Amino acid sequence: MGRLVRGLAGDGAFRVLAVETTDAVEEARRRHGLSPTATAALGRALTGAALLAFLLSKTPRERVTLKIEGEGPLGHLVAEAGVDGRVRGYVGHPEADVPLSEKGKLDVGRLIGPGELRVMRSLPNGEIYDSSVPLVSGEIAEDLAHHLLKSEQIPSAVLLGVRVSPEGPVEAAGGMVVQVLPGAPEEAIARLEENLKDLPGFSALLKEKGLTGAVREVLKGLDFEPTDLGEGVQVRFACRCDREKARDSLRFFGPEELREMAEEGGAEVVCRWCGEVYRFSPEELRALIADAGREAREG
Protein backbone atom coordinates (compact mmCIF):
# COMPACT_ATOMS: atom_id res chain seq x y z
CA MET A 1 0.00 0.00 0.00
CA GLY A 2 1.17 3.55 -0.72
CA ARG A 3 2.35 5.91 2.00
CA LEU A 4 1.96 9.60 2.68
CA VAL A 5 4.52 12.04 4.08
CA ARG A 6 3.78 15.60 5.21
CA GLY A 7 6.08 18.22 6.70
CA LEU A 8 7.78 21.59 6.56
CA ALA A 9 11.17 22.63 5.22
CA GLY A 10 13.43 25.68 5.06
CA ASP A 11 12.49 26.82 8.57
CA GLY A 12 8.84 27.06 7.62
CA ALA A 13 9.41 28.42 4.10
CA PHE A 14 7.86 25.35 2.42
CA ARG A 15 4.91 23.09 3.01
CA VAL A 16 5.67 19.56 1.79
CA LEU A 17 3.38 16.71 0.77
CA ALA A 18 4.52 13.46 -0.84
CA VAL A 19 2.85 10.17 -1.67
CA GLU A 20 3.95 6.76 -2.91
CA THR A 21 1.49 5.13 -5.34
CA THR A 22 3.36 2.15 -6.83
CA ASP A 23 0.76 -0.50 -5.98
CA ALA A 24 -2.16 1.72 -7.03
CA VAL A 25 -0.62 2.49 -10.43
CA GLU A 26 0.28 -1.15 -11.03
CA GLU A 27 -3.33 -2.12 -10.27
CA ALA A 28 -4.54 0.50 -12.76
CA ARG A 29 -2.11 -0.83 -15.40
CA ARG A 30 -3.26 -4.40 -14.88
CA ARG A 31 -6.99 -3.64 -14.82
CA HIS A 32 -7.01 -1.44 -17.91
CA GLY A 33 -4.31 -3.21 -19.95
CA LEU A 34 -2.35 0.02 -20.30
CA SER A 35 0.61 0.51 -22.63
CA PRO A 36 3.86 1.67 -20.93
CA THR A 37 3.33 5.35 -21.78
CA ALA A 38 -0.38 5.20 -20.95
CA THR A 39 0.63 3.67 -17.59
CA ALA A 40 2.93 6.64 -16.95
CA ALA A 41 0.21 9.11 -17.95
CA LEU A 42 -2.58 7.64 -15.81
CA GLY A 43 -0.12 6.91 -12.99
CA ARG A 44 0.97 10.54 -12.85
CA ALA A 45 -2.65 11.69 -12.93
CA LEU A 46 -3.69 9.30 -10.13
CA THR A 47 -0.75 10.48 -8.04
CA GLY A 48 -1.51 14.13 -8.79
CA ALA A 49 -5.17 13.66 -7.86
CA ALA A 50 -4.12 12.10 -4.54
CA LEU A 51 -1.77 14.99 -3.81
CA LEU A 52 -4.45 17.58 -4.60
CA ALA A 53 -6.99 15.72 -2.46
CA PHE A 54 -4.70 15.87 0.56
CA LEU A 55 -3.65 19.44 -0.24
CA LEU A 56 -7.03 21.05 -0.99
CA SER A 57 -9.72 19.04 0.80
CA LYS A 58 -11.32 20.60 3.86
CA THR A 59 -13.48 17.61 4.88
CA PRO A 60 -12.87 13.83 4.88
CA ARG A 61 -15.58 13.07 2.29
CA GLU A 62 -14.39 15.44 -0.45
CA ARG A 63 -13.17 14.03 -3.76
CA VAL A 64 -10.84 15.58 -6.31
CA THR A 65 -11.14 14.69 -9.99
CA LEU A 66 -8.66 15.54 -12.73
CA LYS A 67 -9.90 15.50 -16.32
CA ILE A 68 -7.54 15.95 -19.24
CA GLU A 69 -8.87 16.33 -22.76
CA GLY A 70 -5.90 16.00 -25.08
CA GLU A 71 -5.52 15.96 -28.85
CA GLY A 72 -2.90 13.17 -28.74
CA PRO A 73 -3.41 9.41 -29.23
CA LEU A 74 -4.43 8.81 -25.60
CA GLY A 75 -7.63 10.87 -25.89
CA HIS A 76 -9.16 11.80 -22.55
CA LEU A 77 -7.83 10.90 -19.11
CA VAL A 78 -9.73 10.94 -15.80
CA ALA A 79 -8.37 10.40 -12.27
CA GLU A 80 -10.19 10.68 -8.96
CA ALA A 81 -8.92 10.60 -5.37
CA GLY A 82 -9.98 11.33 -1.81
CA VAL A 83 -8.33 11.80 1.57
CA ASP A 84 -9.39 8.23 2.41
CA GLY A 85 -6.51 7.18 0.12
CA ARG A 86 -8.71 5.63 -2.58
CA VAL A 87 -7.82 6.47 -6.18
CA ARG A 88 -9.31 5.34 -9.48
CA GLY A 89 -9.15 6.42 -13.11
CA TYR A 90 -9.21 5.54 -16.78
CA VAL A 91 -8.05 6.75 -20.20
CA GLY A 92 -9.71 6.97 -23.62
CA HIS A 93 -7.32 4.63 -25.45
CA PRO A 94 -5.42 2.38 -23.01
CA GLU A 95 -3.44 0.66 -25.77
CA ALA A 96 -2.16 3.94 -27.28
CA ASP A 97 1.62 4.43 -27.16
CA VAL A 98 4.33 6.60 -28.72
CA PRO A 99 8.11 6.19 -29.17
CA LEU A 100 10.45 7.15 -26.35
CA SER A 101 11.55 10.78 -26.16
CA GLU A 102 14.99 11.91 -27.34
CA LYS A 103 16.19 11.45 -23.75
CA GLY A 104 15.00 7.83 -23.79
CA LYS A 105 12.03 8.45 -21.48
CA LEU A 106 8.32 7.68 -21.79
CA ASP A 107 6.89 10.62 -23.74
CA VAL A 108 3.69 11.39 -21.82
CA GLY A 109 3.43 14.91 -23.26
CA ARG A 110 3.34 13.58 -26.82
CA LEU A 111 0.83 10.86 -25.93
CA ILE A 112 -1.55 13.44 -24.41
CA GLY A 113 -0.89 16.31 -26.83
CA PRO A 114 -2.27 19.86 -26.53
CA GLY A 115 -5.45 20.24 -24.52
CA GLU A 116 -7.07 21.29 -21.27
CA LEU A 117 -6.82 20.28 -17.60
CA ARG A 118 -9.94 20.49 -15.43
CA VAL A 119 -9.80 20.07 -11.65
CA MET A 120 -13.06 19.42 -9.79
CA ARG A 121 -13.55 19.32 -6.03
CA SER A 122 -16.74 17.47 -5.05
CA LEU A 123 -18.06 18.44 -1.61
CA PRO A 124 -20.28 16.20 0.57
CA ASN A 125 -23.23 18.63 0.15
CA GLY A 126 -23.18 18.13 -3.62
CA GLU A 127 -21.37 21.37 -4.49
CA ILE A 128 -18.62 21.14 -7.10
CA TYR A 129 -15.76 23.60 -7.52
CA ASP A 130 -14.58 23.39 -11.11
CA SER A 131 -11.60 25.16 -12.68
CA SER A 132 -9.66 24.62 -15.89
CA VAL A 133 -6.37 25.69 -17.42
CA PRO A 134 -4.73 24.97 -20.79
CA LEU A 135 -2.12 22.23 -20.69
CA VAL A 136 1.39 23.66 -20.39
CA SER A 137 3.24 20.53 -21.53
CA GLY A 138 0.97 17.51 -21.13
CA GLU A 139 3.57 16.02 -18.79
CA ILE A 140 1.00 16.54 -15.96
CA ALA A 141 3.38 17.72 -13.18
CA GLU A 142 3.95 21.09 -14.85
CA ASP A 143 0.26 21.31 -15.65
CA LEU A 144 -0.74 20.76 -12.02
CA ALA A 145 1.79 23.37 -10.86
CA HIS A 146 0.24 25.78 -13.39
CA HIS A 147 -3.24 24.98 -12.04
CA LEU A 148 -2.19 25.54 -8.42
CA LEU A 149 -0.71 28.91 -9.31
CA LYS A 150 -3.54 30.16 -11.55
CA SER A 151 -6.60 28.69 -9.87
CA GLU A 152 -5.54 28.30 -6.23
CA GLN A 153 -2.89 31.06 -6.00
CA ILE A 154 -0.45 28.51 -4.56
CA PRO A 155 3.08 28.79 -6.01
CA SER A 156 4.32 25.20 -5.97
CA ALA A 157 6.81 22.74 -7.36
CA VAL A 158 5.13 19.48 -8.42
CA LEU A 159 7.07 16.28 -9.04
CA LEU A 160 5.41 13.15 -10.45
CA GLY A 161 7.09 9.95 -11.55
CA VAL A 162 6.18 6.47 -12.81
CA ARG A 163 8.89 3.92 -13.57
CA VAL A 164 7.73 1.02 -15.76
CA SER A 165 9.90 -2.08 -16.14
CA PRO A 166 10.70 -3.42 -19.64
CA GLU A 167 8.49 -6.43 -18.82
CA GLY A 168 5.51 -4.16 -18.09
CA PRO A 169 4.90 -3.95 -14.31
CA VAL A 170 5.34 -0.68 -12.43
CA GLU A 171 8.57 -0.55 -10.42
CA ALA A 172 7.99 2.78 -8.66
CA ALA A 173 5.39 5.54 -8.72
CA GLY A 174 4.81 8.59 -6.58
CA GLY A 175 4.88 12.34 -6.38
CA MET A 176 5.52 15.39 -4.29
CA VAL A 177 4.28 18.97 -3.90
CA VAL A 178 6.45 21.68 -2.37
CA GLN A 179 4.31 24.73 -1.64
CA VAL A 180 6.09 28.07 -1.25
CA LEU A 181 4.62 29.78 1.83
CA PRO A 182 4.27 33.57 2.22
CA GLY A 183 7.50 35.22 3.33
CA ALA A 184 9.75 32.42 2.10
CA PRO A 185 13.34 33.80 1.88
CA GLU A 186 14.86 34.17 -1.59
CA GLU A 187 17.88 32.09 -0.61
CA ALA A 188 15.61 29.16 0.40
CA ILE A 189 13.73 29.38 -2.91
CA ALA A 190 17.04 29.52 -4.80
CA ARG A 191 18.27 26.41 -2.97
CA LEU A 192 15.08 24.52 -3.83
CA GLU A 193 15.37 25.53 -7.50
CA GLU A 194 18.98 24.34 -7.54
CA ASN A 195 17.97 20.99 -6.04
CA LEU A 196 15.18 20.52 -8.58
CA LYS A 197 17.49 21.32 -11.48
CA ASP A 198 19.81 18.43 -10.65
CA LEU A 199 17.20 15.75 -9.89
CA PRO A 200 17.42 12.45 -11.82
CA GLY A 201 13.60 12.02 -11.66
CA PHE A 202 11.25 11.36 -8.76
CA SER A 203 10.53 7.72 -9.61
CA ALA A 204 14.27 6.95 -9.73
CA LEU A 205 14.72 8.56 -6.30
CA LEU A 206 11.72 6.68 -4.96
CA LYS A 207 13.03 3.33 -6.16
CA GLU A 208 16.50 3.98 -4.73
CA LYS A 209 15.74 5.75 -1.45
CA GLY A 210 12.08 5.13 -0.57
CA LEU A 211 9.53 7.89 -0.05
CA THR A 212 11.06 9.70 2.93
CA GLY A 213 14.55 9.38 1.45
CA ALA A 214 13.35 10.82 -1.87
CA VAL A 215 11.74 13.77 -0.07
CA ARG A 216 14.94 14.49 1.87
CA GLU A 217 16.95 14.37 -1.36
CA VAL A 218 14.65 16.91 -3.06
CA LEU A 219 14.91 19.14 0.02
CA LYS A 220 18.65 18.66 0.59
CA GLY A 221 20.02 21.55 2.66
CA LEU A 222 16.53 22.78 3.59
CA ASP A 223 16.08 20.82 6.86
CA PHE A 224 12.93 18.82 6.13
CA GLU A 225 10.87 18.22 9.29
CA PRO A 226 8.12 15.60 8.93
CA THR A 227 4.87 16.38 10.71
CA ASP A 228 3.03 13.26 9.54
CA LEU A 229 4.46 10.04 8.13
CA GLY A 230 1.00 8.87 7.13
CA GLU A 231 1.05 5.45 8.78
CA GLY A 232 -2.76 5.56 8.94
CA VAL A 233 -3.23 6.42 5.24
CA GLN A 234 -3.14 3.68 2.62
CA VAL A 235 -3.16 4.99 -0.93
CA ARG A 236 -4.71 2.29 -3.08
CA PHE A 237 -6.64 1.74 -6.30
CA ALA A 238 -10.26 1.21 -5.20
CA CYS A 239 -13.45 1.70 -7.19
CA ARG A 240 -16.93 2.46 -5.87
CA CYS A 241 -18.71 0.24 -8.38
CA ASP A 242 -20.66 -2.86 -7.31
CA ARG A 243 -23.05 -5.40 -8.78
CA GLU A 244 -26.16 -3.44 -7.73
CA LYS A 245 -24.99 -0.28 -9.52
CA ALA A 246 -24.16 -2.35 -12.60
CA ARG A 247 -27.66 -3.89 -12.49
CA ASP A 248 -29.22 -0.42 -12.17
CA SER A 249 -27.36 0.72 -15.30
CA LEU A 250 -29.25 -1.91 -17.30
CA ARG A 251 -32.50 -0.13 -16.44
CA PHE A 252 -31.64 2.46 -19.09
CA PHE A 253 -32.39 -0.16 -21.76
CA GLY A 254 -35.94 -0.74 -22.88
CA PRO A 255 -37.78 -4.09 -22.47
CA GLU A 256 -37.19 -5.03 -26.11
CA GLU A 257 -33.43 -4.49 -25.84
CA LEU A 258 -33.28 -6.46 -22.58
CA ARG A 259 -35.20 -9.33 -24.23
CA GLU A 260 -32.68 -9.40 -27.09
CA MET A 261 -29.83 -9.55 -24.57
CA ALA A 262 -31.55 -12.40 -22.73
CA GLU A 263 -32.06 -14.33 -25.98
CA GLU A 264 -28.37 -13.87 -26.80
CA GLY A 265 -27.32 -15.48 -23.51
CA GLY A 266 -27.12 -12.56 -21.09
CA ALA A 267 -25.30 -9.26 -20.72
CA GLU A 268 -22.03 -7.82 -19.43
CA VAL A 269 -21.57 -4.44 -17.76
CA VAL A 270 -17.99 -3.16 -17.64
CA CYS A 271 -17.06 -0.40 -15.18
CA ARG A 272 -15.10 2.25 -17.09
CA TRP A 273 -13.32 3.34 -13.89
CA CYS A 274 -11.76 -0.01 -12.98
CA GLY A 275 -12.54 -2.49 -15.77
CA GLU A 276 -14.52 -4.81 -13.46
CA VAL A 277 -16.91 -7.02 -15.46
CA TYR A 278 -20.39 -7.81 -14.09
CA ARG A 279 -22.28 -10.60 -15.90
CA PHE A 280 -26.06 -10.98 -15.85
CA SER A 281 -27.87 -14.15 -16.85
CA PRO A 282 -30.98 -14.30 -19.08
CA GLU A 283 -33.06 -14.99 -15.95
CA GLU A 284 -31.75 -11.80 -14.26
CA LEU A 285 -32.55 -9.77 -17.37
CA ARG A 286 -36.10 -11.16 -17.50
CA ALA A 287 -36.50 -10.24 -13.83
CA LEU A 288 -35.46 -6.68 -14.72
CA ILE A 289 -38.12 -6.57 -17.45
CA ALA A 290 -40.73 -7.81 -14.97
CA ASP A 291 -39.64 -5.19 -12.39
CA ALA A 292 -39.89 -2.41 -14.99
CA GLY A 293 -43.38 -3.57 -15.99
CA ARG A 294 -44.56 -3.71 -12.37
CA GLU A 295 -43.18 -0.22 -11.66
CA ALA A 296 -44.91 1.13 -14.78
CA ARG A 297 -48.28 -0.32 -13.66
CA GLU A 298 -47.89 1.00 -10.11
CA GLY A 299 -46.73 4.43 -11.38
Q: What is the pLDDT of residue 297?
A: 61
Rounded to whole angstroms, how far apart are CA atoms 90 and 92? 7
The reported pLDDT for the residue numbered 15 is 96
pLDDT the model gives residue 230: 66
Res. 232 pLDDT band, cuts 50 70 90: low
pLDDT digits (tens, 9 = 90+) for 40-82: 999 999 999 999 999 988 888 899 999 999 999 999 999 999 9
Average per-residue pLDDT for the chain: 93
**Beta carbons of 127 and 185 less than 8 angstroms apart:** no
pLDDT at 174: 97
Q: Looking at the predicted structure, is the pLDDT value of residue 128 above 70?
A: yes
Report the C-alpha gap between 124 and 251 in whole angstroms: 27
| Percent of the chain surpassing pLDDT 90 | 84
The pLDDT of residue 200 is 85
Find, among 58, 104, 113, the residue nearest to 82 by Cα: 58
3-state secondary structure of 274: coil
Query: Given this model, what pLDDT does residue 152 score?
Result: 85
pLDDT in tens, 82-93: 999 999 999 999
Confidence of residue 167 (pLDDT cuts 50, 70, 90): confident
- Please, which pLDDT band fits residue 166 given cuts at 50, 70 and 90? confident
Domains within the chain, CATH numbers bracketed = 4-237 (3.55.30.10), 243-298 (3.90.1280.10)
Residue 296's pLDDT band, with cuts at 50, 70 and 90, is low
> Quick check: 294 pLDDT over 80?
no
Contacts of 166 by beta carbon, 8 Å cutoff, 6+ apart? none
Report strand pairing: 128-134 vs 115-122. antiparallel
Least confident interval from 205-214, 256-265, 286-295: 286-295
What tens digit of pLDDT does each residue of 174-199 get? 999 999 999 999 999 999 999 999 88
Q: Average pLDDT for residues 138-156, to the nearest whole number? A: 94
Q: Is the pLDDT of residue 299 over 60?
A: no
Share of the chain above pLDDT 70, in %: 97
